[in-house]
Chains A and B, each alone.
Chain A
Amino acid sequence: MTLVKLDMVSRIYHSKSIDFPALEEVSFSVETGEFISIAGPSGSGKTTLLNIIGCLDALSSGSYVLDSDNIGTRKSNELADIRRFKIGFIFQTFNLIPVMTAFENVEFPLLLTGKMNGPERRATVEEILADVGLKDLMHRRPFEMSGGQQQRVAIARALVKKPRLVLADEPTANLDSRTGKEILDLMLRLNQKTDSTFIFSTHDQMVMDCARRLLKLKDGRIESDQVRR
């Protein structure tokens, strides 16, 4: 089933004197459960593409359909609701809430969706924290954890609400290679377990090698789209 469908999507940023096209006529689709890497050098449009798919940025032209929903016509609050229910984000700099424990950070999206009662929520959070190997550290605050541990919390936070789509912007960029590999393995494992679709941007060869599909961008356009194995 097609989860993401972009058709001739362009994104042009306007500054005082010039118009800068960050994305130009990008078209591709993603099926449910895929594990895709978007690669390309800095300035190739990876983050812009991820922001558009994540409903954080608007299109300049073209159309974007997420889970049969035409995103281009949605208003700010509707986009917030789509992010709340359907999309999980993993950031390069983890972006955990510093005043909350690992447990509370992971619980936060569930509180936003409001779909579970207390005991259900607690069980779900503990299960996902066990999946990422952090059950013993769930009462620690972010500053009491290593970068790798924080990224695991961020992954758990992205997946806890069982989103249709998980977007990760250079998730291993701030980690050493061994921790980066562990994080990738974890994401792969959770991709298989949860059937969530993963799209992540990277320019790290090791990360690209892990992806089952590699979409390469150059100067805001798709240079290649390879499916592996």
Chain B
Amino acid sequence: MKMLIKLAYRNVFRYKRRTLITFLTISLGLAMLIITVCLIDGADKQGITNLIDSQVSHFKICRKDYFEKKDDLPLNLTIKEPERIHNLLKNVPAVMESESRIIFNGSLIKGMDELPCQGVAIEPGRDMRILNIRRSLIEGTWLEDDESKVLVGKNLAKDIGLAVGDIITLRLITSSGDEDLTWNALDVEIKGIFDSGNPNVDRQYVMMPLGLARSGLGLGAEATEILVRLKTDARNDRTLTKIQGQIEEALKPDTQGLGAFSWKESAALILAVSKEKRRQNALVILITLFIAAMGIINTMLMAVFERTREIGMLAALGLRKAEIKKLFVLEGSIIGIFGSLVGCILGGLGGWYYETYGFRLASMGESGDKIIGAFAPVKDIFYGDLSFEILVSTFLLGVFISIISSFYPASKATRLNPIEALKHI
């Protein structure tokens, strides 16, 4: 075996240029694969973080019928006594903070321009412990209770040309679903502009104190939803299910038809898109591996053809068919091992770069934000997520494909008749 390995190793470097091309096909293919997976994982991870930190938090409590129609933002399916719910939630040890909110459809009017937006009424004191909007203020100051001032996202402000201190008209749609359209309008001052990193929030949200929205929408001490922040960052299903059970148990004395919905349920559409994206990514992986496999098969077939007489000689010296097969499989494996190793090093370096310096969506042109934003709630820049598992599994995959790809040419070598092979010119 040692002798076959030695012979295989030397044969690999016999046709340097061809080996180099195959080697590069594998290395670059696997490096691209690692970088792609790293970026997709990074976009997903950052997207989920953005979603939890700026939009849905860990849990949302609302009426079950409201959750079913949440895309319509119905204002007639509210939580009537949200403060009682906050008190009940204090009995759940995992809960850090909760906040009442009202979400409604609306639009911003500045002069002749009008842009649709989503009104988000919050409790400023509680919100800053639940979401990151306060930390992401880039201009102006944070909201106070009961003031007629609003915060807008950076992208929305840019789209309609807003600056801190501007007075604008906010149209609040008071009807919902199939009801006749009714609205109210308020003149409000822009108090701050935020840049949360979540394109959905930064392009749509107009945030205001709960009291302002209640008076504008004609609601009492109600809320459409309660956001819940946990003490620990809950991402896996097991933890979420456990805490969901605890919250629902805590609400039992006063359910009001409410349910607790995890961030996964709130972000079902985004997660479905992410799943689809991974399926497409699997196709990219398959194509990459197919190209690498074709490279190896081609190189090995050329080797079998060019070394036909040598194969005959090896048979004459007494090498069994299985040993000749082993020799060619070893050659393919050596190319695969080196190619995969270099691919993992290159991919690792690329992954490290994107993990450290991030991927700027502007590098994809003006529409970069929109392209990536369609798949994950990220914008401007996101960071790769490189794991040791990706490197190891890609390396093993590369070696496995190389070995499998070598079998066909190796079998061809063993099918050669030694006499015919010795006559080969």
Contact = CB atoms under 8 A, between A and B. Distances in A.
Interface string B402-423: 0000000000000000110010
B181 interface: no
B129 interface: no
Contacts of A98: 14, 310
A57 interface: yes
Contacts of B321: 76-77, 80
Given A56-B419, A95-B310, A112 B318 contact: yes
Contacts of B318: 80-85, 87, 109, 112
B168 interface: no
B69 interface: no
B320 A77 contact: yes
B306 to A, nearest CB: 11
A30 B319 CA distance: 26
Contact of B317 (A76, A99, A100, A112): A112
Nearest to A154: B313
Contacts of A56: 315-316, 418-419, 422
B3 interface: yes
B229 interface: no
B316 A99 contact: no
Interface string A74-99: 00110011111101010101010111
Contacts of A51: 419
Contacts of A83: 315-318
A208 B316 CA distance: 25
Interface residues of A, number: 25
Given A56-B418, A56-B419, A95-B309, A89 B10 contact: no
A87 B317 CA distance: 8
A89 to B, nearest CB: 5
B148 interface: no
A54 interface: yes
Q: B interface, how many residues as a size bin?
A: 20 to 34
B14 A108 contact: no
Interface in B293-331: 309-310, 312-313, 315-322
A111 interface: yes
A80 B419 contact: no
A84 B321 CA distance: 13
A99 B14 contact: yes
B11 interface: yes
Contacts of A93: 309
B305 to A, nearest CB: 16
Nearest to A107: B3
B7 interface: yes
Interface string B372-412: 00000000000000000000000000000000000000000
A190 to B, nearest CB: 18
B422 A108 contact: no
- Chain A CB within 10 Å, residue with most, of B7, B312, B316, B422: B316
A91 B320 contact: no
Contacts of B320: 76-77, 80-81
Given A77-B320, A89-B316, A57 B310 contact: no
B345 to A, nearest CB: 27
B227 to A, nearest CB: 69
B317 A108 contact: yes
B419 A97 contact: no
Nearest to B3: A111
A178 B422 CA distance: 26
Contacts of A111: 3
Nearest to A98: B14
Interface string B5-16: 001001100100
Contacts of B3: 108, 111-112
Nearest to A83: B318
B7 A100 contact: yes
Contacts of B315: 56, 80, 83
Interface string A95-123: 10111100000001101100000000000
Interface of B: 3, 7, 10-11, 14, 309-310, 312-313, 315-322, 418-419, 422
30 contacts: A51-B419, A54-B316, A56-B315, A56-B418, A56-B419, A56-B422, A57-B419, A77-B320, A77-B322, A80-B315, A80-B319, A80-B320, A83-B316, A83-B317, A84-B317, A84-B319, A85-B318, A87-B318, A89-B313, A89-B316, A89-B317, A91-B422, A95-B309, A95-B313, A95-B422, A99-B7, A99-B10, A108-B317, A112-B3, A112-B317
Given A81-B320, A83-B317, 14 more contacts: A56-B422, A76-B320, A76-B321, A83-B316, A84-B317, A87-B318, A89-B313, A93-B309, A97-B7, A99-B10, A99-B11, A100-B10, A108-B317, A111-B3
CB-CB nearest 4 A-B residue pairs: A84-B318, A99-B10, A95-B313, A83-B318
